[in-house]
Amino acid sequence: MQGGIVLHVDLQPNADETLDCILGGTIHLLQSRSGYRTAIDAPLLAWFAAQHAPDAEQALDLGAGSGLVSLVLARALPHVQIDLLDKQPAMLDRARRNARLNAVDRRFAFLHADVADLTLPARYDLVLCNPPYRRRDHGHPPASSERQIAHQESTATLRQFCHAAVAVLNPTGRSCWVFPAHDASRLLEDLLAVGLGDRSVMRVFHRPNDAQPNRILVCARPGVARLHDLPVRAIHLQDQPDRVFQPDLAAFFASLAEPE
């Protein structure tokens, strides 16, 4: 037993994993002790997607990692079916186990594939992506291979992630992205270049009084070039610890609790 739940053997954390109870205890998450560990970007992206594509029925999580974006979205939108794609078998296995832990596995499918040579039918009405944000040839790569693949371009560039998204979207589909604010122009230009020209951008601040946003959220659709600024927002309350979210985000995360 862990955190009040009885775990099957394959859902027990391995020696190199932790089992964490996050987002106010609504989500249980297996993640690496020393490799890739989640940050606020994943649940924030899922929140954003739930606002912009509430009627989505078939979604693709492009570079799913441990599956947190999909876990949150699946709890928020009980009707959505989600395909989780990642090129790392170990990460896909962890995502599969996390899906079982959170009782959403019946709505998930797992695809082992590389975005660099992805071929899938254009059948999704929602694509979610938290892509590698460091250029392939910039800076020193993280020591952990999980972190390196999550944070730095490897076989696929940011442009290729954008191309993969537009290739699998149906004509009325939407893609949702999270990306560092300091490099926002690169994502926005790559989305435009592949045909996802109708872009709505939300600049996100850590706290309301911060001088600069630290990330952007983007909803991009096929269409003519258009750039629309959404209202800016903050994640946390001023002068409060990071576990305290703005009221609407706190309410959203609280709503993710599994029904009794």
Contact yes or no for 96/166 (Cβ under 8 A): no
CA distances from 256 to 71, 102, 252 (A): 9, 10, 7
Backbone phi and psi for residue 38, each to the nearest 5 degrees, phi listed first: -70, 160
Contact yes or no for 127/102 (Cβ under 8 A): no
Would you state the pLDDT for residue 201? 98
Query: Model's pTM, two decimal places?
Result: 0.91
Give the residue numbers spanning the domain of 211.
Answer: 39-254
Q: What is the mean pLDDT of the chain?
A: 90
CATH number at residue 215: 3.40.50.150
Backbone phi and psi for residue 201, each to the nearest 5 degrees, phi listed first: -120, 130
116-175 pLDDT, tens digit each: 999 998 899 999 999 997 677 766 665 666 555 555 557 789 999 999 999 999 999 999
Distance between CA 99 and CA 109 in Å, rounded?
10
Q: Residue 36: pLDDT band by 50, 70, 90 thresholds? A: confident
State yes or no: pLDDT of 96 exceeds 70: yes
Would you state the pLDDT for residue 38? 87
In-domain check, residue 93: yes
In-domain check, residue 3: no
In-domain check, residue 69: yes
